[in-house]
Structure formats: structure tokens, C-alpha cells
Amino acid sequence: MTDGLVIVDKPAGITSHDVVSRVRRLAGTRKVGHAGTLDPMATGVLVLGINRATRLLGHLTLTDKAYSGTICLGVATSTDDAQGEVVSRAETDALTETAVRSGLAAMVGNIQQRPSSVSAIKIDGRRAYDRVRSGEQVELPTRSVRIDAIDVVGIEGALVDIDVRCSSGTYIRAIARDLGEALGVGGHLTRLRRTQVGPFGIGQSRTLEELADEFAVVPIAEAAAATFPSVVLEEAEATAVGYGRPLQRRLADDAEVALFDASGRFLALYRNEGEKARPVAVFL
């Protein structure tokens, strides 16, 4: 089995760990991990690593994400989504499109956001959404997030379709909840689909059924080249890197850099340290 990434189009109703279990069986290896957990309700892009690429997951630059979703105004729920219990209802006839758009526009930028209680954040080793769905009261502290854009795709009655571009750690359920609160009517999320994670989009993803028919893997070298600055080394330096030795020079980029030999084989991630570049992780 090729070492690399598998870009899954996660279905609704199962956890990210369930997806990992399915892919382990399809790949014939237990060395499968995932980056960027999706809650059970959500669908869309989930990035998995196979074999050596599991070690790459923690280094991948996957901070920029994109989602599509549907907000239902006028109904607030215990989980900020359609799976929770209704906690309040309000009339929405007086709401205007201008008010909805203004409420969403106010959330764009660097903001403090309180995550949804059904997020995948762990509290004492247990996911918040597990605690909520077993009847516990969960209140998470606010955190700094960046929302680059919220585009209103359509409004039909109390339903608002949106596209969101944001940083890791942003909760679309919280956007729905906060919009409802700002408008004084309550709100929750009825649909959530992740369409982009870093350089990996929904067009590259495969459903579990498609992967069962044809197991598509992004080779580890291709994945590294897509997500890191890259340098091709001459033979002597490539040999040194294979042994995890520092390069006797600085690299042009101060971020983690993917190093390749002349044949295109991915060797390691290195970072500048003083006047040398030292290994962060070697993949041989």
C-alpha cells in the first residue's frame, strides 16, 4: 500500500474514528490516522494518512478551511444543530434580508467565538458532543478564530444557506447560534459540509463506497509538495538528510521545508535553526 493521504468525503451519521476504521480495512493496515475531526452530523472533506504519512499529518498546514451550511432561524436547540432538543421558538416574519446579512457580516474578521457544546473538543479526555448527548451541561470558553468570509448563498423563509471561509477552530454551529441570538430569534444549523481543508478540496475527495471500488491515495511526496515549501537536494546533502544530519546551511524559507532527492523521493521536513537547517521529521 502506498504511503500517502486519502481524502475522504465523510458521510453524515458516523464519527471520524468510524471513517478511520473503515479505511483501515480497505487499506489493509492499522497505520491510519486523521487530521481535522468532523462531528458526526457533518459531511465532507476528511484528510487521512496511511502508513508513513500518519507522521506527516501533524505537520500539514491545514489551517484554512471552507464549509457550506444551512441556518434555521427562529428555533434554538440544545446542541446548536438539528439533532438537539428545541429550547426556544420565535417568529421570524419581521426579519429582513438586510438584517440577516448584517448579522453575518459582523462575524467576519478576527473574533472571539464560543464553540458549540457539541464540538469535538475534549473535556477530561471525552468529546464535548458525547457529554452533551448523554445529558451533561457543557459550557466551553471563548477562543480566538478568524473568519475570512461568510457568503449568503440564498434565503428562503427562515432558512439561510451560507458558504464560509475560515481558520481552524471556527465552529459553523456557533455562527448559526450567534446569528440567531443577535437577531433575537434564536437559530441552529441544519446542514454542514466541509468543502476545503488546506489545499485539499471536495473535488479530490472520495466516498467510502468509491474507495471500496478504487482505493485512491495521494502519494506522500505529492502531499508534501502540495503543503510545504520544497527543495531538491544534490546527492551528498540527500545522503546526509537520510541519516537525519543537519544541513550545513540555512534554507531560504524559515517555515518547515520538504526536502526531496533528485529522483523526487520525499526525504524529510527540515527547519532553520541558527546557521544550519535541522530535521523536524525524517520519512525514510
* CB-based burial, 172-209: b 16+ in 10 Å, e otherwise: bbbbbbbbbebbebbbbbbbbbbbbbbebebebbbebe
Cell numbers standing for residue 125: 479526555
| Inter-residue contact 251 to 260 (CB < 8 Å) | no
Contacts of 227 (CB under 8 A, 6+ apart): 60, 61, 62, 198, 199, 258
CA distance 260 to 28: 28
Strands 257-260 and 266-273, bridge-based pairing = antiparallel
Q: Which of 3, 9, 39, 81 is catalytic?
A: 39
Sign of CA dihedral 31, 32, 36, 40: negative
Please count the other Cβ atoms lying within 10 Å of the Cβ belonging to residue 155.
17
Based on the residue annotation, tell me whether 254 is a catalytic residue of this protein.
Answer: no
Mind telling me the catalytic residues? 39
